[in-house]
Structure formats: structure tokens, C-alpha cells
Amino acid sequence: MKRVLFVLSVLMVSMLACQISGVPALPQVQPTAIFQPQATAPVLPTPADPAEAESTLEALYQQVLPGVVAIQTDRSEGSGFVIDSEGHVVTNQHVVEGVNDVEIAFASGFRAHGTVIGSDGDADIAVIKVDAPADQLHPLALGDSNTLNVGEQVVAIGNPFGLSGTMTLGIVSGLGRTQTASIDPESGGRFSTADIIQTDAAINPGNSGGPLFNLNGEVVGVNQSIRTETFNELTGNAVNSGVGFSISINLVKRIVPYLIRDGRYEYPYLGISSIDELSLQAIEALGLNTYTGAYVTRVEPGGPADQAGIRGGTQPTSLENLQAGGDVITAIDGQPVPTFDHLLAYLTTNKSPGDSVVLTVLRDGQTTDVTVTLGARP
């Protein structure tokens, strides 16, 4: 069961892909932030045959490598990338957790001190300000992760196991994934981070915070973690299973301006609990006539959804801990909601506290629109 930005359990172990020193391991309304990248995508060959595809990858690597950095603290090692000419570097929050000062190593061999100026633990994003001369700062072009398709080739570049400038190739394996984030202080449940990209491009300890590129040389994600059930008995490292996760660049572009300006980010809050995907047994027990949508299991008393009249389940069913009578959210602002994850992704990448959304809900066999003013996550 999930609440908005909330999950109850994770079935497999998800390991952060940073390398820990010594133990290798993996009510103020916000304006809408529009991040303007300072770099344009490099002009690369268009692959028409295998030989040209290889040339494209080689050209991509040479073009983007100067913008990829290695990050080292007294606790961990990771990766990052330059986003502007002011010296701002994006990485994962877990790479710099608990520290303020870091060491940044550029592909040229130049090294500099950096200061963590903002971080968001829920999205696992942090921004570092590095003091470096202009000729060392090579901002990378930021793409549009909404244009990604499953099966599209992507490239990860980072510093796994301290091996700087390592490039791996894979595909987009899935889109719109969610991962657990912070604990809700009111209910004790967990919020979730949405709009996560799944990829089989090899991600290992030390890759955390590094860029995931499309074949145009644009950053489309920030590599974060892998999911695995296998660990190296000697080192304790998680063994790559081909299931890696990258934070979508569209979410990053929304959060980073606030981290630079305020040092923190506030998420929109709807105040509902839901089940990501209903089984056929659950659909039959609930008496639903739809197989898609976000079924509302619970509404947080006094929250935005409650104030707008959204209903949660209250009637017992044949299944334990599942109550019927809740609304099924089928669309938000006219955008279809196939699953609860899609609802989360739309909210986190498009809305801020204080914004209004129109939820299309299926209630008692009838479709109705409900306007909700979003709050700030507690």
C-alpha cells in the first residue's frame, strides 16, 4: 500500500550505488521552477549501421567526459556532473550525506574542493558548489526524460570502484518506477520518490550520482542504485543484476533550482494512500469494473484530498486489510492514470504546494471531477 509519495514494503533489496570508504557498498507556496540548461547537446554521428553506432558512442564519450566528475569524501566515493558555468555539480544525496566539504576530481586531472549547498534525501539529489576555473567547467546538456522509450539505448558514465571515466551501455528497461523515501511523521508510513528510470546499463558502487545519457549526448537521468539479492561474500558488494535505477532528469531539473536557492525542496502533498497495482482478486473483491487507475484505500483526515471530498475505502471485503467504497482516480488534469505510480510521477514533476489539480474519479459507477489544492508534504 502506498500514500502519495509512500510505500509500505520493498520485496527485494535495493542498494545505493555509491562506494563507502572502507566498506564498499553500494505554508509557503513554491513557484514553478524551470531549469534552463546552459549547454546544448553535442552533434554526434547518426548511426545507420554497427560501425557508425560504434563511432557515435566513441564521439559521445569524448564530448561528455569533461563534464563528468568523481566525488570523494572521508566516508564515500561517487560520481557527479557539471550543470552550469557557475560551478554547480549534481550528485546523489547519499554520496555526500553527513558532510559539507568534498573533493572533486575532473577528467582532466584537475582537483578542487567543493561545498554541499543543498540536498534532498527523498529524491536522493544534492548540489555541490565547486571552486574551479572556467576552463575546467564543462556543463552537460540536460535532456527531456519524458521522451524516453523502453528499449531505447542509454549510456552510464561514472567511477565504479574508483575506476574513473567508466562507460557502460544498456537500454531503458522500464519507466515510471517508484522507490521508498522518507517516513511520514503523521502516519508512520513511507513516502515514495516517483519517475524513476529502470535500466540494465551496468551500475556499480561508485556510479552513484553520475549521469545517464541518451545517444544524443543529453543527460536523461542521475544513476542511483541497483536492486539485487546477491552479494559478494568477500567484499560485501552488491552484485549487479541488470536492474539499475536512475532519477529522471525532469525531476532533477525541478528540484535543483530550489536546492541552489534555498538548500531544500518542498514536495506537493495530496494526502491519500493507494495500492500501486490491483490484482484480479482485489478488483473482484472491491467490485470494480476497471483494471486501471489508482484506488484510494485511505484519505488522511484533514489533508488536501479529504478537504476536497475524495473518498477512501470503508466497507469490509473478503480480503484482509482491503476495504471497498474508495474512489478510483483515473486521470489527473486530463492525463490518464494507469497506476498510482503514474499519479505520483505527474505530481512530483509538474506540481508544487499550493497548486490545484483536477482528479477524475470513478465513484459508485459514475465518473466525476474533483478539484484539489495541494498541500506541502508534512
Residue 354 shares a structural domain with residue 252: no
Domain final residue, candidates 231, 261, 291? 261
Which residues, at least 6 apart from 98, have a Cβ–Cβ distance to it below 8 Å?
75
3-state secondary structure of 149: coil
Residue 111 shares a structural domain with residue 136: yes
Give the domain CATH number at 356: 2.30.42.10
Which amino acid would we find at residue 339?
Answer: T
> Per residue of the chain (378 residues), what is the pLDDT tens digit?
444 433 323 333 344 555 544 433 333 334 444 455 566 655 555 554 555 666 789 999 999 999 999 999 988 899 999 999 999 999 999 999 999 999 999 999 999 999 999 999 889 999 999 999 999 999 999 999 999 999 999 999 999 988 999 999 999 999 988 877 755 555 555 677 788 999 999 988 889 999 999 999 999 999 998 776 565 566 555 556 678 899 999 999 999 999 999 999 999 999 998 887 888 999 999 999 899 999 999 999 999 999 999 999 999 999 988 999 999 999 999 999 999 989 998 998 899 999 999 999 999 889 999 999 999 988
Q: Report pLDDT for 55.
A: 76
Q: Report pLDDT for 17.
A: 55
d(CA 143, CA 288): 39
Q: Of these residues, 145, 208, 225, 274, which one is catalytic?
A: 208
Q: Report pLDDT for 240.
A: 63
Q: Report pLDDT for 185.
A: 54
Q: Of these residues, 14, 79, 84, 94, which one is catalytic?
A: 94
Residue 152 shares a structural domain with residue 280: no
d(CA 80, CA 164): 11
Domain final residue, candidates 200, 227, 261? 261
3-state secondary structure of 322: coil
Residue 106, C-alpha cell as written in the block = 575532473
Residue 329 shares a structural domain with residue 201: no
Q: Report pLDDT for 192.
A: 72
Residue 98, C-alpha cell as written in the block = 553527513
Give the domain CATH number at 42: 2.40.10.120
Residue 63 shares a structural domain with residue 114: yes
Known catalytic membership, residue 355: no
Which amino acid would we find at residue 173?
Answer: S
Residue 35 shares a structural domain with residue 53: yes
Residue 92 shares a structural domain with residue 236: yes
Given a contact cutoff of 8 angstroms between Cβ atoms, the answer to whether 286 and 278 are in contact is yes
Residue 311, C-alpha cell as written in the block = 473518498
Known catalytic membership, residue 94: yes
Given a contact cutoff of 8 angstroms between Cβ atoms, the answer to whether 140 and 80 are in contact is no
Residue 214, C-alpha cell as written in the block = 541518451
Which amino acid would we find at residue 42?
Answer: P
Q: How many CA atoms lie within 13 A of 237 on its CB side?
A: 18
d(CA 294, CA 366): 15
Residue 273 shares a structural domain with residue 366: yes
3-state secondary structure of 135: helix
**Structural domain of residue 136, as residue ranges?**
2-261
Known catalytic membership, residue 208: yes
Residue 284 shares a structural domain with residue 334: yes
Domain final residue, candidates 205, 234, 261? 261
Residue 197 shares a structural domain with residue 288: no
Given a contact cutoff of 8 angstroms between Cβ atoms, the answer to whether 346 and 352 are in contact is no
H helices within the chain, ranges in order?
Answer: 50-64, 93-96, 249-261, 280-286, 304-308, 340-350
d(CA 168, CA 200): 10
Phi, psi of 136 (to 5 degrees): -100, -10
Residue 106 shares a structural domain with residue 163: yes
d(CA 177, CA 245): 9
Q: Of these residues, 84, 122, 124, 306, which one is catalytic?
A: 124
Show the CA angle centred on residue 150, arms to residues 171 and 64, nearest 5°.
45
Phi, psi of 219 (to 5 degrees): -75, 125
Residue 59 shares a structural domain with residue 160: yes
d(CA 194, CA 265): 15
**Domain total in the chain:** 2
Per-residue H/E/C for 9-22: CCCCCEEECCEECC
Given a contact cutoff of 8 angstroms between Cβ atoms, the answer to whether 155 and 213 are in contact is yes
d(CA 8, CA 186): 14
Beta bridge partners of 118: 127
